[in-house]
Amino acid sequence: MQKTVIIIGAGPAGLMAAEGVRAAGHQVQVYDAQASACRKFLLAGIGGMNITHSEAYPEFIQRYYDKADWLGTAIRQFDAGALREWIHDLGIETFIGTSGRVFPKEMKAAPLLRYWLKRLRESGVEFYMRHKMVSLEKNQVEFDCNGEKVIAKADAIVLAMGGASWPKLGSDGAWQAILQNNGVMVEPLQSANCGFYSEWSEHLQTKFAGSPLKSVAFSFALGDGKIVSKQGECIVTKDGMEGSSIYAFSKYIRDDINACGHGVITIDLLPLQTEEQLIKKLQNIKPKESFSKYLKRTLGISGVKTALLYETYDKDQYQTPATLARCLKSLSVSFYKTKPIEEVISSAGGVCESAVNEKLMLNAMPSVFCAGEMLDWEAPTGGYLLTACFATGHLAGQGVNDWLASRLA
Ligand SMILES: Cc1cc2nc3c(=O)[nH]c(=O)nc-3n(C[C@H](O)[C@H](O)[C@H](O)COP(=O)(O)OP(=O)(O)OC[C@H]3O[C@@H](n4cnc5c(N)ncnc54)[C@H](O)[C@@H]3O)c2cc1C
């Protein structure tokens, strides 16, 4: 018996749910606030769409931090391999990059999206664009469509309205208040995969804003004493740091800022050389040579790296080759705030794990399911974000089908 299912949010999670529900024979209506589908997905495809990762499942699932078990329910059923097969089925080839990241052959999202939307439309999925959900009550949704009020009713609803980064692409997090009003527990959305603010001196701001900091290693001390480290690079901005290596630590830094007002990352400016090797080179002292020339001649350090040394330590802390070598290998940079959520790659927070059942149906609103970035999980870049969006969309679609079947039985 055909039932009507509304999907709100035409991003990857919503469209995945739409596909699964339509395949079970139900009537599917997809609504979105924007004029076209998957705006953020298309943006993600501009710099090279990293759709998933090829690492083994045990490592892969740990990328979701403390939500690994929860997301495992969705990702085990639609993992990186299943996602790649699904992409191949759309006629798009994929390849594994040197880092293990998986990309569509053309690196873009647009061709994949074009084929996918065509397939969805041909299967009978209906699209209602420029419809912004403004309220939700049981199985009834109110939309604002160009200033007009539109009411839609359904037997089941999937909410896939994304997080709150890049709100001009449609996901603005306005759904948080609507769900809270319906008794749904929501963890406030926060910046993830983001840069941070630091308090630089006037000198660093004026001379080195925008400088790349290359071939360094970052490390972060976790609360349990474990150290996480990663070699890479970042950009020193006028008020902090940005870049993929910083994003990789953003959950840890942000959690510390939330807990105690600041998060500290340690930078090794010369990760390929041991402290002993540096000490040996630094012993080659020439009288009357300036300190910056001495650093450049002995270790090849200059520019922003030297500026960061001055920024972090007082001169009397690195008077000998031994103390200088130690300082160069352990610059502590303290951050006090994340970059605004509007500018970052993704968001943390969202509908709480305890607010949904194992098939992602809201406990407070039976017949309403959630999927994608609006659920309370986060992950680093590397294709983990999209994989979880596809997988939770897939699971929510299954959840809808099972729930509707149980109502008919
Ligand atoms: C610059 C950038 C690069 C990225 N690169 C990658 C990458 O390479 N790999 C990766 O894995 N991830 C990447 N991401 C993250 C990834 O794009 C997102 O995690 C993913 O798109 C989230 O999917 P979603 O379906 O949950 O939500 P979204 O894609 O955000 O879609 C949600 C949809 O809901 C609609 N909506 C929101 N509120 C309402 C409302 N009230 N009424 C109606 N409709 C509404 C929005 O218009 C939107 O279309 C990137 C993100 C950014 C910003």
State if residue 44 touches ligand 1 by the CB under 6 angstroms criterion.
yes
| 103 has a pLDDT exceeding 80 | yes
> Which sequence spans correspond to the domains of the chain?
4-192+347-408, 196-338
Q: How far is the CA of 11 from the centre of ligand 1 (A)?
A: 6
* pLDDT of res. 10: 98
Biggest CA pair distance of the chain: 90
Using only the alpha carbons of the chain, give its radius of gyration: 25
Q: How far is the CA of 261 from the centre of ligand 1 (A)?
A: 29
> Looking at residue 362, what DSSP letter applies?
B
Three-state secondary structure call for residue 315: helix
pLDDT exceeding 90 applies to what percent of the chain? 96
Tokens 């749910």 correspond to: 17
Segment 222-248, tens digit of pLDDT: 988 899 999 999 999 999 999 999 999
Of 144, 140, 71, 134, whose CA–CA distance to 365 is shortest?
140
Pocket perturbation via mutation, ligand 1, pick of 29, 132, 161, 191 by most ligand atoms within 8 A of CB: 161
Locate 104 and state its tokens: 């569509």
Tokens 């059923």 correspond to: 77
| Length, in residues, of the chain | 409
Asked whether 316 and 366 are in contact (CB, 8 A), the reply is: no
H helix runs in 229-341, sequence order: 244-248, 250-260, 275-282, 291-299, 303-312, 321-328
State if residue 161 touches ligand 1 by the CB under 6 angstroms criterion.
yes
Going by pLDDT thresholds of 50, 70 and 90, the confidence category of residue 70 is very high
Q: What is the mean pLDDT of residues 133-160?
A: 97
What region does 243 belong to: left with phi over 0, alpha with psi -120 to 50, or beta? left
State if residue 392 touches ligand 1 by the CB under 6 angstroms criterion.
no
State if residue 378 touches ligand 1 by the CB under 6 angstroms criterion.
no
Q: How far is the CA of 329 from the centre of ligand 1 (A)?
A: 38
| 130 has a pLDDT exceeding 80 | yes
State if residue 386 touches ligand 1 by the CB under 6 angstroms criterion.
yes
Segment 338-349, tens digit of pLDDT: 999 999 999 999
* pLDDT of res. 1: 75
State if residue 162 touches ligand 1 by the CB under 6 angstroms criterion.
yes
CA distance 94 to 104: 4
State if residue 166 touches ligand 1 by the CB under 6 angstroms criterion.
yes
CA distance 355 to 368: 11
Segment 344-384, tens digit of pLDDT: 999 999 999 999 999 999 999 999 999 999 999 999 999 99
Pocket perturbation via mutation, ligand 1, pick of 377, 386, 392, 394 by most ligand atoms within 8 A of CB: 386
Using DSSP bridges, classify how beta strands 101-104 and 126-128 pair: parallel, antiparallel or unpaired: unpaired
> Looking at residue 339, what DSSP letter applies?
P
Helix or strand holding residue 405 (H, E): helix 384-408
Least confident span in 43-47, 163-167, 174-178, 353-357: 43-47
Read off φ and ψ for residue 237, nearest 5 degrees.
-95, 180
What burial class does residue 100 get, using C-beta atoms within 10 Å of its C-beta: 0-12 exposed, 13-18 middle, 19+ buried? middle
Tokens 């939770």 correspond to: 392
* pLDDT of res. 409: 78
Locate 227 and state its tokens: 């150290």
pLDDT exceeding 70 applies to what percent of the chain? 100
Residue 47 has a CB neighbour count (10 Å cut-off) of: 9
Quick one: angle between helices 303-312 and 291-299, nearest 10? 120
What value, to the nearest 5°, has the Cα angle with vertex 41 and ends 37 and 45?
130
* pLDDT of res. 48: 86
Share the mean pLDDT of the chain: 96
Asked whether 18 and 30 are in contact (CB, 8 A), the reply is: yes
Q: What is the mean pLDDT of residues 81-90?
A: 97
Q: What is the pTM of this model?
A: 0.96
* pLDDT of res. 47: 81
Segment 256-293, tens digit of pLDDT: 999 999 999 999 999 999 999 999 999 999 999 999 99
4-192+347-408 — its CATH code? 3.50.50.60
* Ligand 1 atom at shortest distance from the alpha carbon of 173: 38
Q: How far is the CA of 191 from the centre of ligand 1 (A)?
A: 14
| 164 has a pLDDT exceeding 80 | yes
Read off φ and ψ for residue 279, nearest 5 degrees.
-60, -45
State if residue 174 touches ligand 1 by the CB under 6 angstroms criterion.
yes
Locate 7 and state its tokens: 């999907």
Residue 62 has a CB neighbour count (10 Å cut-off) of: 11
Q: How far is the CA of 203 from the centre of ligand 1 (A)?
A: 38
Q: How far is the CA of 303 from the centre of ligand 1 (A)?
A: 38
